[in-house]
Amino acid sequence: MVTRTVQRTLILAIGMTLSLALHSGAQTRVQTDVESLVTLRWTGDELALTGFSRATADFRSPQHPMVQGRLQLRLTVLDVAGTAFALPEVPRAYVRFRFPVTEDYLFRVTAGRDRLSWGVGSLFNAGDLLFGADGRDEADFTRPSDVRDETAWLTAAYFPIGALGYLEAVGLPPLPPVAGLLPPGTPGDSPDAAVPAVSESRAGVRLHVATGPLSVEPAYLYDGRNDTHRLALSLGSAAMGADIYASGSLDIPTGTDAVPGLQELLRERSRVSAGVFTSRAVGHDRTLNARLEALVRPGGAWEAIGEPTAHYGLLLHPEIVYIPGRTFTIVSRAIVSPIDGSAEITGGATWNIYQGFTALAFGVVQIGDDDSVYGWDRDGSVAILAGFRYEF
């Protein structure tokens, strides 16, 4: 049964979509993405079958050299034990414009909900001060690339520096909860929820420069949520036919608490990510891509402590993607916690049968003990997912 809140959100989403479609100009570009999947999951006690559908409508403004607008609406519907749950989202909603300072120089501003990719890394990226170094919670391993797709409400200004460099400043305000748009019981659904203070804003800047084969990106962010200065440095280059990259970040608390010494800061509040990526031709028309990333948290545990929620000092992310033809892709990805000897392995394939239409099937299995980060015989330790995706 669909709850009243869900009905409300459905009506809202559909109404917005129809309204936009009806009132949009002839050149507004609309793209729709419908995904329908079935998941068979081991809950720890039994096998559970879950239906899952997700529809995304993407509205882009007509092409203009100085102004852009985009609205992306997404509705996810889950069917669990005969009960439907719906989650509306607005992953992207922004305006972007260029402002000419002189005839030869301009800067641009993005305001709204969007994604910014700071640092470098696929799953682990210590240089990502906006969305975090560890992308495990948000990662979608069924995507052929870009396993992370977090977005946030922000205002960003982009200042070009020469042709291949730029300075980007960003501010992320703490937004009040949107009461009534979330499923009952979701934090923030209460109309009485406290409005966050302006002091909980985040603001920062990054500089991106390329020197020869080396890309360098220092970044800074003030995080008002915990009164912390955050610094990061990301480097990218190539060696021995492979792309290599690394990022490091450090959090420096302020406020009334005494600032720890440098050694303690490095030990307790730093993180480093590093990766190597290589792509090899197999025969004349097949490709094998391989990636290995590591996330090092010096302040994490370096011995197995028997806690499934433990924050260990080292995590690994190997990935192999084999492309035997133009339309077929075989993907194998894993997250490995070597300190407690556990891992989650995802493997599957996608087949782009027609343009925009893709069939996909993936399996997930966790390996490890009951007290490991990943382990057998727990909810989600084994899952099979299959379905179709169509973009039109």
Partner 1 sequence: MSRTFTRRVSRGRSPLLPAVTALLLASVATAASALSADEIIERMEANQTHSTARIEGRMVIRDRFGDRTSTYIAYSQGAERFLVEFTSRHEEGQRVLRRGDSLYLYYPDARETIRIQGSALRDSLLGSDVSYEDMTGGRGLADDYDFELVGEESVDDRRAYEVRLTARTTDVAYALQTYWIDAEDFVLRRSEQYARSGRLLKTTEVLETMQVGDYRFPSRIRVTDETRRSAGTEMIIEAAEVDIDLPDGVFSLEELTW
Binding site for partner 1 (CB under 8 A): 29, 31, 60, 68, 96, 98, 106, 108, 114-117, 145-146, 148-149, 158, 160, 162-166, 208, 210, 213, 215, 236-243, 277-281, 284-285, 287, 289, 323, 326-327, 352-356, 391-392
The number of residues making up the chain comes to 392
Would you state the structure tokens that stand for residue 336, as one six-digit string?
Answer: 């490995």
- By beta-carbon proximity to partner 1, the closer residue of 98 and 229 is 98
- By beta-carbon proximity to partner 1, the closer residue of 96 and 202 is 96
- By beta-carbon proximity to partner 1, the closer residue of 277 and 376 is 277
Would you state the structure tokens that stand for residue 159, as one six-digit string?
Answer: 């200042």
What is the spatial distance between Cα 194 and Cα 217, in angstroms, rounded to a whole number? 36
- By beta-carbon proximity to partner 1, the closer residue of 146 and 264 is 146
- By beta-carbon proximity to partner 1, the closer residue of 29 and 267 is 29
361: CB partners within 8 A, 6+ apart: 348, 349, 384, 385, 386
What is the spatial distance between Cα 69 and Cα 97, in angstroms, rounded to a whole number? 9
- By beta-carbon proximity to partner 1, the closer residue of 250 and 349 is 349
Would you state the structure tokens that stand for residue 278, as one six-digit string?
Answer: 């290589």
Residue 11: phi, psi to the nearest 5? -60, -40
Integer distance in angstroms from the first to the last C-alpha of the chain?
A: 30
The CB-of-73 to partner 1 minimum distance in angstroms stands at 15
The CB-of-326 to partner 1 minimum distance in angstroms stands at 6
Q: Which amino acid is at 43?
A: T
What is the spatial distance between Cα 70 and Cα 198, in angstroms, rounded to a whole number? 26
170: CB partners within 8 A, 6+ apart: 116, 130, 154, 155, 156, 157, 203, 204, 205
Contact in structure between 304 and 339 (CB atoms under 8 Å)? yes
User: How far from 174 is each of 149, 224, 373, CA to CA, in Å?
Assistant: 20, 9, 31
- By beta-carbon proximity to partner 1, the closer residue of 213 and 261 is 213
